[in-house]
Amino acid sequence: MRIPKLTIPLIVIASLFGGYFLRSAFTQPTTTVAYDQKSGAKATFIVDGVKCKGTAAFFTSLYDSIPGIIGIETFAGEHKAVFTYDPERISRDSIRTIMEAPIPFDDGTSEQIFKCLSVE
Amino acid sequence: MAIPRTRYYRYAIFTIILGLVTYLAFGYGSRSFEAYCPFGGAESLWGLFTAGEFTCALGPLNLSLMLALLVLVLISKKTFCGWACPIGFLSELGGRLGGLLWKKRPRVTPKANGWLKLFRYAVLIVALYFTFRTGELILRGYDPFYLIFSGFGHGSAGIISLVVLALLAIGTLVVPMMFCRYLCPMGAVFDPFSRLGVIKIMRNETTCTNCGSCSKACVQDIPVQQLRVIRHRDCTNCLECLDACPEKDTLQLRAGL
């Protein structure tokens, strides 16, 4: 069967859009940390600085000993961190303050590594 | 010589995609430009199967784009490479620039061409092995897509990356589509599926005058005039050969097994 030339760009564009819209079918976290098994409130933070598995792991380590944090899932490709937390023990603002706090280095200096761009 | 109309369409799509990637590379948009690299889908497979997590900076879009493009390859061969890949576009432009610079460009013999193409399988194996083993995108420092659009960002290997990119640029001027032909790991992933592509170019042997215009126009150096059905794994359905053919309807785009 003969195919018009214009078919080619159309199927290229269709496949790119198809791939883009199919992404939600494969959503998996970059890192998953569960500090507790109980359920809690959810908050999604878009965080500048969460860009790969290493930075995501460092990011979650900031909350290792913070009371009220039940679990964290990070999505590096979308610079996203989803917190499950106990709202009676910690607030969204406190979660944000922790991530945006300057990180101290061995040489005595400190630097802000993560910056919250939005909260849902 | 007039530029064929199909090339305008192709370059328009290429330019839009190159523009989008550049826009993302400057930090606009909700995702990094790396999230749109289909080869990331292949690199993420091991992490997904073993830990249910994406590797390094990869995400669901890498995987969904790779799967969508595999379907595209089964429908229409490596059309992505010839119509949408930013590196394919830059390689083609480099090859055309090289054609203007060289009066008589050295040609890679078909035998050497065949051997050199094995490098892309080596690149694929090395990229997957080290990514699976370390959980890091280990070839970032040598990947032209990453180096160009990140501006030699995190993971680049300084002067070595610069030398690699310079060699690739010079190589593309000498051997058209050098990266795509010999080094692209995504091309290696597509290879086994590309031969099965349903939409392909067919040559009518009775009306063909064997003038060789089609082979000369092919950016992938495929000997189109010697083939009846272009099942070649490197064919991107760019349609340059169709536009170059002086005999009406001798080369046709057809769907069939």
pLDDT tops 90 at residue A31: no
Contacts of B199 in chain A (CB under 8 A): 3, 7-8, 11
- Name the band, by pLDDT with cuts 50, 70 and 90, for residue B55: confident
Distances (CA, A) of B83 to A11, A16, B86, B200, B223: 10, 11, 9, 15, 20
pLDDT tops 90 at residue B157: no
- Can you give the residue ranges of every domain in chain A? 26-119
Contact A112, A99 (CB under 8 A): no
* Contact flag A28-B54 (C-beta cutoff 8 Å): yes
Q: And the tokens for B238?
A: 């760019």
pLDDT tops 90 at residue B256: no
Contact A41, A16 (CB under 8 A): no
- Name the band, by pLDDT with cuts 50, 70 and 90, for residue B139: confident
pTM: 0.84
Domains in chain B with CATH codes = 5-194 (no CATH), 199-255 (3.30.70.20)
Exposure on the CB side of residue B45, measured as CA atoms within 13 A: 12
Across the interface, which of B6, B31, B32 has its CB nearest the CB of A5? B6
Asked if A5 has any chain B CB less than 8 Å from its own CB, the reply is yes
How confident is the model over B127-156, as a mean pLDDT? 85
- Name the band, by pLDDT with cuts 50, 70 and 90, for residue A29: confident
pLDDT of residue B1: 62
* Contact flag A19-B52 (C-beta cutoff 8 Å): no
CATH architecture assignment, domain A26-119: 2-Layer Sandwich (3.30)
pLDDT tops 70 at residue B209: yes
Contacts of B65 in chain A (CB under 8 A): 16, 19-20, 23
> 3-state DSSP call for residue B112?
helix
